[in-house]
Amino acid sequence: MTAMTHWISEPLDALLEKAVAFITDTAYRAVAERGRFALVLSGGNTPRALHEQLAKGIREERYLELGYKLPEEVRRCTRDPERIVPPWAHTLLFQGDERYLPPSHPDSNYGMARQTLIRNVCVKPSNIHRMPTESGNPEEDARRYEMLLRGLFHKRESDDLPPSFDLILLGLGDDGHTASLMPGDRKALDEKERWVIAVNAPNGKPPGTRLTLTLPVINEAKTVLFLVPPTRYELARSISNDERPELPSGMVKPRSGEVWWFVEGK
């Protein structure tokens, strides 16, 4: 089954507003259906502004204008009750990839997420699941994160399907990489069994070892949202049109979910 693809392109402020509304609605729907919202955060610098807007929430009036319904159990921003925010108390946070650096390092994806989002919202500490990067053994840390996911999403050890996250946020590199799945890394791109792997990213920014979710996990998601800067507009358009299937981002095709491209207009 081919994943349904949606394309939204706006100037940055309007794009972020629409993305926040979409994520908020997705979160409330997930909580209504399953009692929790499992969200995977992306790394890099592009999500910074999105995180900050998610923490602030969206004005109720604008949320309704965009066609969304107010949930019965709607949460409001304590600093501005006119703004509604996602149901953070019922949200589980995960990482799609991480540079193999301490969380205090300036290039840590978790450090960026903590600064721009996590410390500004009411997510329970027990619901924040960052990728471990401290043992000095990336392969072992990848296995540890996979075991964490198996414990959270599977009641039976024999159940081997990857978890179905409610929403995975992804970025798009100028080489077409996404998460830390790099072009030409056949071992990583062909992985079928493992959910989390350690990879070497010599062309990454910065170069080095990373942990990443694999394609089987990404493609089990209910929804994938790419957030893309204007410099990669044409690349994103070609991938969304299925013209670049050889690129890692072109291999993102959720088995029974949807892909949403939120691309800043040039």
CATH number for position 61? 3.40.50.1360
Q: Are 114 and 151 contained in the same domain? A: no
How many domains does the chain contain in total?
A: 2
Q: Are 22 and 121 contained in the same domain? A: yes
Whether 114 is covered by a domain: the verdict is: yes
Whether 3 shows a pLDDT value over 90: the answer reads no
Q: Are 120 and 180 contained in the same domain? A: no
Q: What is the predicted pLDDT for the residue at 160?
A: 78
Q: What is the predicted pLDDT for the residue at 2?
A: 61
pLDDT, tens only, 134-192: 899 999 999 999 999 999 987 545 567 899 999 999 999 999 999 999 999 999 999 99
Quick one: three-class SS letters along the chain?
A: CCCEEEEEEECHHHHHHHHHHHHHHHHHHHHHHHCCEEEEECCCCCCHHHHHHHHHCEEHHHHHHCCCCCCCCCEECCCCCCEEECCHHHEEEEECEEECCCCCCCCCHHHHHHHHCHHHCCCCHHHECCCCCCCCCHHHHHHHHHHHHHHHHCCCCCCCCCCCCCEEEECCCCCCCECCECCCCHHHHCCCCCCEEEEEECCCCCCEEEEEECHHHHCCCCEEEEEECHHHHHHHHHHHCCCCCCCHHHHCCCCCCEEEEEEECC
Whether 248 is covered by a domain: the verdict is: no
Q: Are 154 and 194 contained in the same domain? A: yes
Q: Which domain holds residue 60?
A: 9-67+80-85+99-130
Q: Are 108 and 187 contained in the same domain? A: no
Whether 66 shows a pLDDT value over 80: the answer reads yes
Mean pLDDT of 214-243: 97
Q: Are 47 and 144 contained in the same domain? A: no
Q: Are 118 and 185 contained in the same domain? A: no
Whether 238 shows a pLDDT value over 80: the answer reads yes
Q: Are 185 and 146 contained in the same domain? A: yes
pTM, two decimals, is 0.96
Tell me what percent of the residues of the chain surpass a pLDDT of 70: 97
pLDDT band, residue 127 (cuts 50/70/90)? very high
Tell me what percent of the residues of the chain surpass a pLDDT of 90: 86
